[in-house]
Amino acid sequence: MRKLTFLLLLLPCLTAFAENGYDLWLRYKKVSNKALLQSYQQRLHAIVAPGNSPTMDIVRQELQQGLSGLLGANIPLTAAPRAGALIAGTPQQQPLLRNAAITAGLAKAGNEGFVLSTQNINGQPCTVIAANTDIGVLYGAFHLLRLLQTEQPIASLHIVSAPRIRLRMLNHWDNLNRTVERGYAGFSIWNWHTLPDYIDPRYIDYARANASIGINGAVLTNVNANATMLTAPYLEKVKALADVFRPYGIRVYLTARFSAPLEIGGLKTADPLDPGVQQWWQQKVKEIYQYIPDFGGFLVKANSEGQPGPQDYHRTHADGANMLADAVAPFNGIVIWRAFVYSHTNPLDRHTQAYDEFTPLDGRFRKNVMLQVKNGAIDFMPREPFHPLFGAMPHTPLMMEFQVTQEYLGQATNLVYLAPLYKEVLESNTGNGYTVAQVIDGTRSHDTLTGMAGVANIGNDINWCGHPFAQANWYALGRLAWDHSLSSAAIANEWLRMTFTNDAHFVDTAAAMMLRSREIYVQSTNPLGLHHIMGTGHHYGPAPWVDNQARPEWNPVYYHKADSVGIGFDRTATGSNALAQYLPKAREQWEDLRACPDAYLLWFHHAPWQYRMRSGRTLWDELCYQYYTGAARTAAMQQTWNKLQPYVDQQRFREVAMLLGIQHKEAIWWRNACLLYFQTFSRLPIPAGYERPAATLEYYKSLRFPYAPGI
């Protein structure tokens, strides 16, 4: 009886300190720094936020909820400014905001930006959130709350912030049956069966989370599209979501299946130059805008991986994109045409196919067409050189496509912080004096249509993303789309403070672990430029031996080309010559075997096993070193996290600890499987001092995962 009583007393304590991650980075816990708390309380006595729109209703609600939680006191709404008031609104809503300092800031803020400043209003010191639009006020409100959450001083604010990129989007690869392609956090959050009549509160929380980091677009459906999505019953469901998202500044987009005129329209062709097909799409678009007046437009995957497209009718990608662009143009819609194309009928290096197909079309797309380009030419690899198209299409707006979901980066069992990957790509010099970031933000070509998309990792798991730390990648995507000059460290610092605690020791230690995590994953799975050597189909775990897939470019052996001489894909002039697609200033860093950085060696070169690396080790010994060191570093991540237990709630601590245990086991699996396989070609021993693999190559080859998630 005494044990039972003790247990009953203990359980509420455990529950009180548990967090399930649902609140993401919007927890609004009371500020722990007493001096800052007092300063905040002195400067934020009341909220003045006029305006009658649904967005301004959200501004008032968010500020009251956030400030009440952070300051530990109810912060009332008031109509009249007073000392210590927070004034939020546009100059049209609040005439007191029409002063020279605010007006100058608003001239730079644009339609979505904001001014956050300390001002004397009617002789009273006030904190001001001013914007030209209601959505700008909402973004400013979230920014102010972020400053408080991360315990930043607000006594003398002078911030003018505007997004560097116009379209900041999540791409959901969600299917109508609620499965999610490459999704590792449960089923789709869109319950099409109960829409449009049942609005899950999660839809609102999703919109709120996106607005807090500046995301303003959502593609609701898989790029491997289903034409049913364009039928009236489903458009009613989309309308219901669009109505929820609109006050948060988020427009909905749909993926268009190119063969829809045949599948749901009763036509006998989908030829983009056929007048009947053009008329069908015009009518369909008109119907969509009747349901959703601010519909953003279409995202299209065509003539790739078996998807239908204009090439089925001997037309170009420009013919297909322009046909759809003409249909949405009267409604100010856009078409986002994916450049991810490859075909098994093309015998060339898959790396080269998108460039070959799209560069002849530069300048031939309508003004409301964007070309969405993956960060690299293969497919979201753990490390990949930037896509050559970013330096090759000056007359076409290019939109970045990153992957937030960790398809090739450990899925939901691995802690891999992706901001360093994003920054590595964005800061790459395309060879013409511009970085990739300057290409996609319009700096190079003065494009006004600019964009960055992330393939979402969001599912119906209680914590949204599967792995608690995977939330950081969603957060980082939004923050970098708003301002790509932010550092990976600054974003990690923000996210940790908002998601866990402001304790300096915890933040510094956990941030350092996050910043190392992507490099550790590369080292333990795909070192030295190896790529696409994962299990086929599910893409889970190592399988560099696979050579039986129906298409050559689906086989890992296609990419590593290991033989008795060496390993790696020769993409120089003596091989596929994919390097020729890069401008001279870019390719010169990779084309010489001796000068090529180790990180991309096997991406661009077939190097001998005895090739002497910069470390002094042979290539084979270096490969062993990388795999063993990567596995050891995953163990070190476990040790680091264990030391942070006093700073983390028990539920999330245990979740991350268990997942880091899985990550370490998977790193050993990658190490053993890959080295045993590559050893069959090198015929060289694993250097002395390393632990011997615990199983045979045949054992690793025998592993099967028929129900791995995300297929």
Distance CA 671, CA 524 (A): 7
CB atoms closer than 10 angstroms to residue 556: 22
Distance CA 690, CA 693 (A): 9
| DSSP annotation of 569 | -
649 is catalytic: no
Distance CA 544, CA 562 (A): 10
- Catalytic entry in 57, 243, 294, 305: 305
Tell me the residue length of the chain. 711
Residue 373's DSSP bridge partners are 400
Task: Provide long-range contacts, Cβ within 8 A and 24+ apart, for 560-564.
Answer: 560/530, 560/531, 560/533, 560/602, 560/678, 561/606, 562/677, 562/678, 562/681, 563/681, 564/681, 564/683
62 is catalytic: no
- What are the angstrom distances between the C-alpha of 668 and each of 141, 240, 328, 682? 46, 47, 51, 20
Question: Which amino acid appears at position 511 of this protein?
Answer: A
Rounded to 5 degrees, φ, ψ at 169 are: -130, 150
CB atoms closer than 10 angstroms to residue 596: 19
519 is catalytic: no
- Catalytic entry in 57, 312, 379, 598: 379
- Catalytic entry in 319, 407, 461, 553: 407
Distance CA 139, CA 163 (A): 10
- Which strands make up the sheet holding 85-89, listed edge to edge? 46-48, 85-89, 124-130, 114-121, 158-161
Residue from 212, 278, 259, 224 nearest 25 by CA: 212
Contact 635, 664 (CB under 8 A): yes
List residues with catalytic annotation.
305, 379, 407
